[in-house]
Structure 1
Amino acid sequence: MSQQPYELARRLAREAEAVCRYYLSNGKRAGRYWVVGDVHNTPGRSMFVRLQESPKGPAGKWTDAATGEHGDLLDIIRESRGLRDFGEVAEEARRFLKLPRPEPQLSSKPIRSFAPPGSQEAARRLFAISSAIEGTVVETYLQRRGIARVHHGGSLRFHPRCYYRPNEHSPTQTWPAMIACVTDLEGRITGAHRTWLDPDGFDRIRLGKAPIDTPRRAMGDLLGNAVRFGVVDDVLAAGEGIETMLSLRYVLPTMPMAAALSANHLSAMMLPPGLRRLYIARDADAAGDAVQATLIQRAEDAGIEAIALSPRLGDFNEDLHVLGLETLRAALRLQLVPEDVARFLQSSRLAAE
């Protein structure tokens, strides 16, 4: 259906320059980009919108060099028009694309005006109505876990009042949350992962997560899919947790990575076509050992070189937080293939400076 976020974004991307000329009229084209001051259509040259698909990413993706914000063309429509409800954004996008309004369907059953809880559509809507993490409690949470620079490539967003319900008999609560999009190999959003956060502080027991029974939950279609950081070419690092992979990404910001969210999902993760080398960022536990064996066998059967990356402590986020950046960098230098040390580790030092 045309009102789904990913379908609207895809249609808008086909008309990226026209979208920019209309909603960012104070900017101008510069090569393959539309350049403007910011997403609110302020004159300037801080924000860059990609007008054509390229190896760096799809058309319609934008980055504000001054603030670090980024997003897609739906975000541009929302911010430039001051819209907040996704229904309003979708209606404006349909109007621009000259798409017909959705026809109400006659049915003897009540028609739901919302996505079924836990569905792929609910996950897409949640991600679509969330905002950039920069300057939010999400960024603070990750920094307090040692991840001083969050190289997430647009896969993380922030929701200030994300619903949480302990069980079906309890009232709904709202907490700020880190929202991560789960995608398939084609980049389609199939699910979302929520990490509810404590807005009031950080303690050693909860590590910044909200004081609730299950501060992490996933929704949608997870099997075979993952939270992805960067576009895969021939090398990929894959592991379980978001914080684990962001810790590695802090040291290796140009290496594509994927967080499968659990040991079972990591062992079943789909391997991208054209992959030549897979680094398995294992957790130091029995489940990590089992995943390593399974994934190495799957990779080798597909003709992919598989190499395990082992933390000194429980996982790579614990290594980063407790042992520090330079210790983690030195440990990875010994575990990466030499050509990947030159390709990813040397450049990471420059990116961190």
Structure 2
Amino acid sequence: MGSRGLASDLAWRLARDAEAVCRAYLSSGRRQGNYWVVGDVHNAPGRSMHVRLRGSESGKRAAGKWTDEATGEFGDLLDVIQHSCGLSAFRDVADEARRFLSLPRPAPSITQRDRPAASGSPSAAHRLFAMAKPLGGTLAEQYLRHRDIVLSARERALRFHPNCYYRDFATGEMVALPALIAAITDLDGLLTGVQRTWLEPDGYGKALVAAPRRSMGNVLGNGIRLGFEPGVAIPVMAAGEGLETMASLRTVFPTLPVVAATSANHLAATTFPPGCERLYIAADADAAGRHGIERLSRRAGEAGVVALVLRPQLGDFNEDLRRLGPNHLAAWLQEQFVPEDVRIHLPCA
């Protein structure tokens, strides 16, 4: 059975028990007469999306069909599973639908013609980032503020998904959780991947799962860039491993372009924009971080870029920000920056 035939079959099976599907994947809504009413297909609270619970076998009035009056979007219950769980590849959507319906997985097909974008590919990352919402006013922004990170509302690299699909690789268990979605881009601003940070429902910490942070797509040499504008010269920048570390630097130096490389190995492979003269490298207190810093410093020197290492007082710069405060962190960093960069990037310096 091709992907179209499989999709039709699964959508029909789901529609036979449309209310149960809605209760499982659109739990923020409620039943009103013959419809399930919710905010949107991502399971946000509200009343603009209506799912038909009973109807004909096919057509617009079929059970399982939905319409969002606010956006004009429409679809079936497979779309509900895709968006509410934050899935991108059809294979993953079909697997989740089979799990809900208690159906066995089919034998592998020998044809590759209908193969969707591979899970974890740049295409899958593009789809997930497109489905996510702007950061402002979301649980992800609350998570960052709880860590005393304050970023401009114009930061386009960070988004929020209320129901991002998480798979426990040890048990195979799948669950939808809220997540901070960070774009991983190259020097031209092209999205090559995303990093997902799954969050607690109250936004006060990372989700209690085995791996609350994972990246997908092409990461090596790329990173989460804050304050970068394609085509704009970047003579001075900072790089480090973690998003919270680099966002903490940008909280106190709000005009300094920074890139989070997502790991020590990826930090060592960070690429420099043309015309870069000075690179500040944010250190963390671990051995892997030190190796990444040494390799990146060596590469910077070979490229004619001056590399300067920034040292935190505690474990990392986010811990400094939370425990010592932004003014203390700014003063500590001011001693490590070139005076010219302090005047440009530190407010009221």
Structures share a fold, TM > 0.5? yes
Inter-partner Cα distance in structure 2 for 1:257 and 1:201: 24
Residue 92 of structure 1 corresponds to none
Distance 2:174 2:333 in 1: 43
Q: Secondary structure at the match of 1:346?
A: coil
Q: 1:259 Cα shift? A: 0.2
Shift in CA distance, 195/117, structure 1 to aligned 2, threshold 3 Å: same
CA distance in 1 between counterparts of 2:154 and 2:195 reads 14
1:291 to 2:295 alignment: no
The residue aligned with 1:117 is 119
Q: Give the structure 2 partner of residue 216 of structure 1.
A: 213
In 2: Cα distance, 1:211 partner to 1:171 partner:
14
The higher radius of gyration belongs to: 2
Q: Which residue of 2 aligns with 1:243?
A: 244
**2:187 corresponds to which residue?**
185
Could you tell me how far apart the structure 1 residues matched to 2:170 and 2:114 are? 20
176-185 or 224-233, which moves further after superposition?
A: 224-233
Q: Which amino acid aligns with 1:321?
A: R
Aligned counterparts, 1:48-127, within 5 A: 81-83=71-73, 109=111, 111-112=113-114, 114-127=116-129
Q: How many percent of aligned residue pairs carry the same amino acid? A: 50
User: Is the 2:136–2:153 contact (alpha carbons within 8 Å) kept by the matching residues of 1?
Assistant: no
1:276 aligns with 2:277: yes
Normalised by the length of structure 1, the TM-score is 0.65
Per-residue CA distance 1:151-201 (angstroms, 9 max, x = gap):
672001000100001027523100000000111111111111000000135
Q: Does the 8 Å contact 1:152/1:230 carry over to 2?
A: no
1:267 is aligned to 268
Residue 304 of structure 1 is matched in structure 2 by 305
Gaps in structure 1 of 5+ consecutive residues: 1-77, 89-107, 203-207
1:4-57 Cα distance to aligned partner (Å, 9 max, x none): xxxxxxxxxxxxxxxxxxxxxxxxxxxxxxxxxxxxxxxxxxxxxxxxxxxxxx
Q: For residues 124 and 277 of structure 1, do their structure 2 counterparts lie closer, same or farther at Cα, with a shift above 3 Å needed?
A: same
1:305 offset after TM fit, Å?
0.9
Aligned to 1:136: 138
Task: Read off the aligned partner of 1:137 and give its amino acid letter.
Answer: L
Say how many residue pairs are matched.
247
Please state how far the C-alpha of 1:148 moved relative to its aligned partner.
Answer: 3.4
CA contact (8 A) 2:142 2:203 kept: no
For 1:127-164, what per-residue CA distance to the aligned partner results, in whole angstroms no more than 9, with x for missing partners?
Answer: 01111111111011111111134567200100010000
Please list, as runs of the form range in 1=range in 2, the aligned pairs for 1:144-159 lying within 5 A after superposition: 144-149=146-151, 153-159=155-161
* Equivalence for 1:227: 224
Distance between the aligned counterparts of 1:142 and 1:209, measured in 2?
Answer: 11
Structure 1 residues 324, 135: CA separation in 2 closer, same or farther (over 3 Å shift)? same
Report the 3-state secondary structure (helix = DSSP H, G, I; strand = E; otherwise coil) of the residue aligned with 2:256: coil
Q: State the match for 2:82 in structure 1.
A: none
- SS of equivalent residue, structure 2 residue 180: strand
Deviations 1:85-134 (A, max 9, x none): 8xx9xxxxxxxxxxxxxxxxxxx825447421111100111001111111
Displacement of 1:81 in angstroms is 4.5
Q: What amino acid maps onto 2:251 in structure 1?
A: Y
CA pair 167-288 structure 1, distance change in 2 beyond 3 A: closer
Alpha carbons 1:151, 1:250 under 8 Å: kept: no
Secondary structure of the structure 2 residue equivalent to 1:296: helix
Q: Distance in 2 between matches of 1:341 and 1:79?
A: 50
Contact residue 239 and residue 260 of structure 1 kept, 8 A: yes
Aligned to 2:253: 252
Cα distance 1:151–1:251, how it changes in 2: closer, same or farther (>3 A)?
farther
Give the aligned partner of residue 90 of structure 2.
none
Query: Retained in 1: the 8 A contact 2:244–2:318?
Result: yes
Q: Is the 8 A contact 2:139 2:203 kept in 1?
A: no
Offset from partner CA, 1:296-338 (integer Å, 9 cap, x none):
1111111111111110011100100111111101001101100
Name which of structure 1's ranges 291-300 and 144-153 shifts more when overlaid on structure 2: 144-153
Q: How do 1:31-42 and structure 2 match up within 5 A?
A: none
* Separation in 2, partners of 1:310, 1:304: 19
What CA distance in whole angstroms lies between the structure 1 residues aligned with 2:170 and 2:130?
26
Task: Decide whether aligned partners of structure 1 residues 304 and 341 sit closer, same or farther in structure 2, where only a CA change above 3 A counts.
Answer: same
Provide the C-alpha distance between the structure 2 equivalents of 1:152 and 1:164, rounded to a whole number of angstroms.
28
Q: For residue 196 of structure 2, what is the aligned residue in structure 1?
A: 194
Task: Kindly report the root-mean-square deviation, in angstroms, between the aligned alpha carbons of the 2 structures.
Answer: 2.5
Please state whether the residue corresponding to 2:308 is helix, strand or coil.
Answer: strand
